[in-house]
Chains A and B, each alone.
Chain A
């Protein structure tokens, strides 16, 4: 095994951070307006909620299309490959170890920025919750194109039902996700990392040499 050294490195590139934070903003807007339309709250006039919800949805879909493209061209998609190795260690850590000052079982590396549980959660987000929302959302949005098909009104019920179910999952995901950001070295550590993109990770000598040669700006120390 190659010798590893900890270095402060930009692990989240500028695009990844843009993706993350714009996605966060859009999801917040969508959840707020969406649950307004659902009747959960009454803080926004219905017509404005429809406008905001629709435009935010279109923006998010565009962002996701572009990010999917980005993920595959940069090879970043590999970060999200399901990997059960160490999954139970991570679960045990969050349920127990973290309360007693144990070290996180996952060591962040450039090749694997996320732990197994995190990867699985994000994969669920990207291949299940997200698509469920945009698929049903687009069908919902285009209701006027299919509303003359017999049974369309019942179809709309199914579409809206699935959309709402996925929205509940999304909100649940976001709550847990936000809480998990406080579990770093300090409560704000992960947030700061997601803003600056810089994290101390173990680098192999090869990785260090590669970064020094090709991306010296990513190597902070």
Chain B
């Protein structure tokens, strides 16, 4: 997408020669990982390409009763995505209507419990903060064609992008729906044009690469957002994920994210934190993404005491808590901290990035970007743990908060040891310092993307980007912004390790174990009994001292020949 690796670009060398300041060269030499230009997406655009050693997408594909390559409707010629969509809908005449009801299309979700209106169309997160108003860039991950502003027609099924999910060639790709700033203007350099007919004839059920095109790259890069979803899951080995193991079960996403009629289970907005229905009745297909829907609620087999004890945990501890010992284990790092305050530094009037983190697979990750600020990364991270009942509450653009009351929780959840609907779940925590409306004490929409003088990715002016972002979306803005610490919680549920690597008991049943932060309930091995322990140990020590003292006196009296107890042998 945007220009990348300008240092190796011959034009950049020419430029450097034209300005033969030693400083520039010295600078570039000292920090070899500094790259001019502000875009980070170029590396991800290759992400969904298939490689020759890709295993088949899954058994369900090969059992299809139709070979799309034979259909005359798909012989083309096609010159654009919507043309292909039209051909698809010619036969699959319900698909568009089905799809348009779903969150992948609406980007909007009405939470049935909290009543909050959620979805990317509305929410503020603590990564790039808001898709709202930046659809020209962000809606690359909207499964439709052409959403760049409010004029997008959500009722036109001709705009549905069938291929992003169903392309099985790996050669299909999407580009931003609108031009960004000049600094981001060099997009998809050297990319092969899409062979529309071939792509249209090669459709199949989605595999991990299809879903991964967006879900592995949320937050603006590989693994950035979730920590348990990144490009390493395209070809994972068994150690990384037992179910997606490319040489083993090779599950596609929809094996677990069961769905019907283009609606899928398993949104984190409203999770099934404790599935007590289990596998359901024989043959029943449950539209849930829970472990229990396949493994049942007594998943540890056998009648051994160990199995009984482990199964005794399933009502209070999510499977993920023990079976995902760490996340971001595939060699791809996830972001853990983000500081927007430092965004906007320039080198010679140009944005740049610093790549000072090298992740497990050898790739270098940006630790600073002019367009975004400073980041920290982590790999093989231990999750944090909390009681979770599945219901997520969000700090939305309309929520007023107290800036003094500690980090603003982008999302929070209910759950407690005495709430039977909740279980202990693993989470990734994302910590960010991001702009907020200092006068109204709300989060803000920023105008980041656009080929106009107001967009932050171009002018690096927070005040202007926020003012325009709020105004254009009809939100009140006091005119004064500050920065506030925020935290978001990401339930960890992928990268399920082989059972041999599940957590040992003492990971939690220990004084300084993984659950040492959870309060209010007794856990063996973790909790003592305060004064009882003191009294108890004193009693034991007292008894030992008493025996010792008494024994010494007896020995002394015996040595003095007052008594004869010390002589053995009768």
Contacts and interface: CB of A to CB of B under 8 A. Distances in A.
Given A157-B521, A182-B551, A186-B568, A175 B305 contact: no
Query: Taking each of B315, B417, B525, which has the highest tally of chain A beta carbons within 10 Å of its own beta carbon?
Result: B525
B535 A168 contact: yes
Nearest to A152: B418
Contact of B522 (A55, A99, A157, A176): A157
B238 interface: no
A212 B546 CA distance: 43
A38 B539 contact: no
Given A172-B543, A175-B544, A38 B565 contact: no
Q: Interface of chain A, helix or strand or loop or mixed?
A: helix
Nearest to A101: B563
Interface in A61-112: 94, 98-101
A165 B551 contact: no
Contact of B547 (A45, A148, A176): A176
Contact of A188 (B420, B524, B550, B568): B568
Nearest to A140: B524
A143 B308 CA distance: 11
Interface in A142-166: 143-144, 147-148, 150-151, 153-154, 156-157, 160-161, 164-165
A151 B418 CA distance: 7
Contact of B524 (A37, A100, A151, A168): A37
Contacts of B550: 94, 179
Interface stretch (A12-20, A46-54, A125-133): A46-54
Nearest to B315: A147
A174 to B, nearest CB: 9
B562 A189 contact: no
Contacts of A182: 551
Contacts of A178: 547
Interface stretch (B205-213, B375-383, B479-487, B505-513): B505-513
B306 A101 contact: no
A186 B526 contact: no
Contacts of B568: 186-188
A186 B505 contact: no
Interface string B531-570: 0110111011011101100110110010000111111111
Contact of A55 (B305, B315, B553): B305
Contacts of A3: none
Contacts of B306: 47, 51
Contacts, number: 122
Given A99-B563, A161-B529, A164-B536, A46 B505 contact: yes
A73 to B, nearest CB: 32
Size class of the contact patch on chain B = 35 or more
A156 B540 contact: no
Contacts of A117: none
Contact of A144 (B312, B542, B566): B312
A171 B542 CA distance: 11
B543 A100 contact: no
Nearest to B533: A164
Contacts of A169: 539
A99 B521 contact: no
A95 to B, nearest CB: 9
A57 to B, nearest CB: 11
A194 to B, nearest CB: 15
A187 B568 CA distance: 7
B553 A99 contact: yes
B59 interface: no
A196 interface: no
Interface string A204-219: 0000000000000000
A98 B312 contact: no
Nearest to A185: B570
Contacts of A157: 521-522
B506 A100 contact: no
A100 B276 CA distance: 71
B504 interface: yes
Given A99-B562, A148-B420, A164 B529 contact: yes
Nearest to B308: A144
B528 interface: yes
A165 B543 CA distance: 15
B33 to A, nearest CB: 44
Given A39-B511, A46-B504, A176-B547, A51 B305 contact: yes
Nearest to B537: A168
A185 B565 contact: yes
Nearest to B418: A153
Given A147-B315, A172-B543, A46 B525 contact: yes
Given A39-B511, A50-B309, A165-B532, A186 B569 contact: yes
A96 to B, nearest CB: 10
A168 B540 contact: yes
Given A144-B312, A151-B418, A168-B539, A50 B505 contact: yes
Interface in B485-533: 504-506, 509-511, 521-522, 524-526, 528-529, 532-533
B305 A54 contact: yes
A183 interface: yes
A177 B550 CA distance: 13
A172 B204 CA distance: 71
Contacts of A46: 504-506, 509-510, 525
B407 to A, nearest CB: 29
Contact of B562 (A37, A100, A161, A176): A100
Interface of A: 37-39, 45-47, 50-51, 54-55, 94, 98-101, 143-144, 147-148, 150-151, 153-154, 156-157, 160-161, 164-165, 167-169, 171-172, 175-176, 178-179, 182-189
Interface of B: 305-306, 308-309, 311-312, 315-316, 417-418, 420, 504-506, 509-511, 521-522, 524-526, 528-529, 532-533, 535-537, 539-540, 542-544, 546-547, 550-551, 553-554, 557, 562-570
12 contacts: A39-B528, A45-B506, A46-B505, A47-B504, A47-B505, A47-B506, A101-B562, A153-B418, A168-B537, A175-B544, A187-B565, A187-B568
4 closest Cβ contacts across the A-B interface?
A168-B536, A179-B547, A46-B505, A101-B563
Given A164-B533, A168-B535, 18 more contacts: A47-B505, A47-B506, A50-B505, A55-B305, A98-B554, A98-B565, A100-B557, A144-B311, A148-B315, A160-B522, A165-B536, A168-B532, A168-B536, A178-B547, A179-B550, A186-B565, A186-B566, A186-B569
